[in-house]
Structure 1
Amino acid sequence: MSQNASPTSQIPAQTQTMIDNLPAKTGRSLDEWFQVLDAAATPSHGAAMAYLKSEHGMTHGFANLVVSLFRARGQEAPSDEDLVVVQYSGKKAALRPVLDRIVAIVQELGPDVEIAPKKTGVSLRRSKQFALVEVPSAARVTLGLNLRGVPGGDRLREVTGMCTHRVDLASVDDVDADVEGWLREAYERA
């Protein structure tokens, strides 16, 4: 998004509804709130939110929305590839082939696979997320899998959180038939 582009040009419908309701709910439009924040020169997101809430009586939700959009002005959202490049940069670059191999495997599982890079990992989805690939260190890639009810073992460990199981992969050679089978099963369950 360019500096002059509207910060609302690529936002979800629910967010747009909140923006549209700003004048009625807060007495000012988004651009007018941007002018208020420009004049206030608050140093952080939290300080700007506190200012809008205490000095202007804005609710938490509207304050967060206005400040988030204010701080995002002039910033383009990173592309999927940019997100992955950042994750696998520096000492972690040698592990990128592990991700590439996993992606190649899941793309063969079906036409409904969605590969969704996020800031800290790559989500693998069908109707819901079935796996998550993260690179927590230069030594390993962590593959999280949703395999509820499958007993864990030495390699495929049961965990809590967004995924039910996790396997650590130090190289492309670790992406073997077992990993392919776990990916397929997680995909089929999604």
Structure 2
Amino acid sequence: MADPQAALVTQLRNIQARTGKTIPALHELLTASGLQKTGERRSLLMEQLGLGYGDANTVALLMGKPLPPLDGSAPPPPAAVVGDVLDALYSGKKAGLRPLHDAVMALVAPMGVFEQAPKKTYISLRRKKQFAMLGPATQTAVELGLNVKDLPPAARLKAVPAGGMCQYTVRFSALDEVDAELAGWLRAAFDAAG
């Protein structure tokens, strides 16, 4: 299973390398700006430092929260927020679907840095923009929404009408459906997001 906290540490280290500033220094910059809303702080980081949406959003969301060690001195603490949401999403009659979610995350993890944004009924996966949505669709199936254009037609890939968060969805109920074809669709969405 992919470790979201390790992905966060990698993302923060990359932000520091790109900007030449530590995360605490970026937080000081935001505090000095006087901006209070996350969106305003995110915009400032994007405009002044050229950060992408996902990186700027992560820095803004971490304001006033404890940071994981970024110098490799200690292992990062567990990712309680995402884990808590996953525990809630995959509880009761949907508990058996959690291995499907974990299998998809194992496909995404090696692709690069991304953010997991927990929502009420799914997890949003983001780079500069959302590239996928993942969560239980029914008691027996998980649904993966893909934000990518022009995927080749496939029997299990459903095109979604324009105007939605994703252009395609795919539902699956078994681990053998988390296969190379699904990995290819995920890769295309990941690459298209920045």
Alignment TM class, shorter chain as reference = 0.5 to 0.7
1:177 alignment partner AA? A
1:16-67 Cα deviation digits (max 9, x unpaired): x9xxxxxxxxxxxxxxxxxxxxxxxxxxxxxxxxxxxxxxxxxxxxxxxxxx
1:106-157 Cα deviation digits (max 9, x unpaired): 11101x2112221110111111100000202111000000121224432111
Contact 2:124–2:130 under 8 Å retained in 1: yes
Name the count of aligned residue pairs: 117
**Which deviates more from structure 2 when the two are superposed, residues 149-158 or residues 117-126?**
149-158
TM-score calculated relative to the size of structure 1: 0.57
Tell me the equivalent position of 1:168. 171
Alignment of 1:3-42 (within 5 A): 13-14=36-37
1:149 alignment partner AA? D
User: What's the % identity of the aligned pairs?
Assistant: 44
Alignment of 1:48-67 (within 5 A): none
Q: Which 4+ residue blocks in structure 1 deviate beyond 2 angstroms? A: 149-153
TM-score calculated relative to the size of structure 2: 0.56
Partner SS, residue 37 of structure 2: helix
Tell me the equivalent position of 1:187. 190
2:129 alignment partner AA? K
Higher relative contact order (CA 8 A, sep 6+): 2
Tell me the equivalent position of 1:121. 122
- 5+ residue gaps in structure 2? 1-34, 41-79
- 5+ residue gaps in structure 1? 1-11, 18-77
Q: Tell me the distance in 1 between the aligned counterparts of 2:86 and 2:140.
A: 17
